[in-house]
Every structure is written in C-alpha cells, then in structure tokens.
C-alpha cells in the first residue's frame, strides 16, 4: 500500500529536519543550500537516484522500488564508482572471491535474477566499504543517513574553526569539550537559536567548572 502525498511520515519529517540543520550549518560556514545539498554528491553517498534526491528534498514523494530493484540499482552504482586501485571496475569474479560468494551468485544478483539475502547485503557492503543498510534501506532513510554524515562533517569543521568563546585547540590536542565528554553537545549547540544556545552553554560552563579534568586551566593537581 502506498501512502498518499498529503500524509507526512515520521521519516519525511526526520529528513526535512536533518536537511534544515545541514543548510543552517552550511550558512555558518559560508556555503549555500545548493552546495551542501548537492544531489549528485548525495546520490553517491546514499545510492538514491539524483531525481529522487531532488524530489525528497523538495518534500515530494517519488515512489519506492521494491527491495530487489533497489538492491540491483545500488549495487550497479557501487560497481561503477568503487573502482580498483588501477582505475578499472572490479570483475564479477573478483567481487565473488572477496565477498565469499560464487561468481554465478554475483552475476545473478547484478542481473536481478536472484533475490538478495541479508548475508549478500552485509558482505557486499563490507567489500565496497559502505555502511550497513546501504544496499537495502528505503530511499528516504538512505538519504537521511547520508545527510547525517554530512552534518557530522560540517559540525566537526565548524568546531575546528573555533569561536571567541571556544578558540580552536592546538593541533592534535582534544578540546575542553572533548576532554569532558560533551563535545557532541557542544557541536549541536552551534545550530540552536541564540536563546537556547546561550542557556545550553551556560549549563555547560557550570558543568565544566564543577567537574574539572586534567588539562583544564585551574584544574586541581595530581593526587597528593
């Protein structure tokens, strides 16, 4: 049964919220929406076709292929883009040998003549160095996963630039937030509205003051 276009789903809401966070963070880094939500880049990262990426980011439903067709589509994308160190595509025989299946199985999977199992997906994802679920996740979930990875990368970049209240650490040194195990919270604060960010940072300042660790300015010395 297909959902109607007028009925928003939890997955669609999650995708929209993640995309909004990525765009907001891109603005802070001087990048526009088209750059941080580039459909061809998202196609490679998620396996979702470019036209479907555009539709989903625009809040439109684009239909969903069945599991076997989706698997075949993404497997072919990986075969075209994940190349041997010499620049050529891997042969079916090489993929079979390195993923633990017979050549006949791999050929049948590429042709769509065999329905993939969980083991097929797991071993092929490992061979192509893609995250678990890449070959079978529904388009909207695969796209959200790709956006979360982009968000994490942008958050890290934003953190490394530093701010007047949180200057960048010396190269290779963990930040004060990382030393306290709250770096993830600090990164998220960058995307919050001013009022919420101020309240969160005030709480973090109190937490850091009450729980000094080695490396903090004014932290207690070693054991007596």
pLDDT at 218 over 80: no
103-112 pLDDT, tens digit per residue, is: 999 999 999 9
Q: Give the C-alpha distances (Å, rounded to integers) separating 194 from 21, 141, 166, 190, 197.
A: 15, 30, 16, 9, 5
Q: Which has the higher per-residue pLDDT, 220 or 51?
A: 51
Q: Which residues of 131-160 are buried (b: 16+ CB within 10 A; e: fewer)?
A: eeebbbbebbbbbbbbbeebbeebbeebbe
CA distance 28 to 24: 7
For 73-91, give the DSSP string: HHHHHHHHHS--TTSSPPP
Evaluate if pTM is beyond 0.75: no
CA distance 224 to 222: 6
118-163 pLDDT, tens digit per residue, is: 999 999 999 999 999 999 999 999 999 999 999 989 888 887 775 4
Residue 222: predicted pLDDT: 44
60-103 pLDDT, tens digit per residue, is: 988 788 889 999 999 999 999 999 999 999 999 999 999 999 99
Vertex 31 angle, CA 30 and 34, to 5°: 160
Residue 83: predicted pLDDT: 94
CA distance 104 to 114: 10
For 144-179, give the DSSP string: HHHHHHHHHHHHHHHHHH-BTTBPPPPTTPPPHHHH
Averaged over 182-200, what is the pLDDT? 62
**Dihedral through CA 176, CA 178, CA 182, CA 188, nearest 10?**
100
Averaged over 11-16, what is the pLDDT? 92
């Amino acid at each position: 049964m297909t959902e109607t276009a007028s009925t928003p789903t939890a997955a669609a809401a999650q995708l929209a919220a993640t995309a909004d966070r990525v765009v907001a963070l891109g603005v802070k880094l001087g990048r526009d929406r088209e750059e941080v939500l580039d459909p061809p880049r998202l196609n490679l990262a998620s396996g979702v076709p470019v036209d479907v990426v555009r539709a989903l980011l625009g809040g439109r439903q684009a239909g969903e292929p069945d599991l076997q067709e989706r698997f075949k589509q993404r497997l072919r994308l990986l075969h075209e883009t994940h190349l041997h160190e010499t620049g050529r595509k891997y042969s079916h025989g090489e993929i079979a040998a390195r993923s633990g299946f017979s050549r006949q199985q791999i050929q049948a999977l590429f042709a769509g003549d065999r329905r993939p199992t969980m083991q097929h997906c797991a071993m092929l994802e490992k061979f192509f160095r893609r995250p678990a679920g890449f070959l079978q996740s529904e388009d909207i979930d695969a796209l959200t996963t790709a956006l979360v990875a982009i968000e994490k990368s942008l958050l890290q970049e934003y953190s490394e630039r530093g701010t007047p209240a949180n200057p960048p650490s010396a190269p290779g040194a963990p930040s004060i937030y990382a030393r306290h195990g709250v770096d993830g919270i600090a990164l998220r604060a960058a995307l919050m509205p001013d009022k919420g960010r101020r309240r969160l940072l005030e709480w973090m300042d109190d937490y850091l003051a009450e729980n000094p660790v080695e490396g903090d300015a004014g932290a207690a010395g070693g054991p007596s």
